[in-house]
Amino acid sequence: MGIADQFKDKAQELADQAKQKAGQDKDQARERGQQGQERGRQAQEQARDAAEQARERFDR
């Protein structure tokens, strides 16, 4: 194997690693986005529950 082949192999290896890392970063970003949406839904639900409890207290 010549030096040129070694450089090509190394370049391909690095390119593959970069693609893999980019995919992982994309997956992590998607996961964080989903977690943020879930937290938002939970916060809305808690606010709704608190408002309902407050109405029930004032209705007595």
Domain ranges of the chain: 21-60
Confidence at residue 1, expressed as pLDDT on a 0 to 100 scale: 64
Confidence at residue 12, expressed as pLDDT on a 0 to 100 scale: 95
State the pTM of this model: 0.55
Backbone φ and ψ for 40, nearest 5 degrees, come out as -65, -45
Confidence at residue 58, expressed as pLDDT on a 0 to 100 scale: 85
User: Cα angle at 22 between 14 and 11, to 5 degrees?
Assistant: 10
Reported as a single tens digit per residue, the pLDDT across 5-55 is 999 999 999 999 999 999 999 999 999 999 999 999 999 999 999 999 999
Six-digit token pair at 33?
Answer: 């986005």
Confidence at residue 9, expressed as pLDDT on a 0 to 100 scale: 94
Confidence at residue 59, expressed as pLDDT on a 0 to 100 scale: 81
User: Given the structure tokens 């893999």, which residue do they identify?
Assistant: 20
In the DSSP assignment, the letter for residue 1 is -
Q: Is 11 helix (H, G, I), strand (E, B) or coil?
A: helix
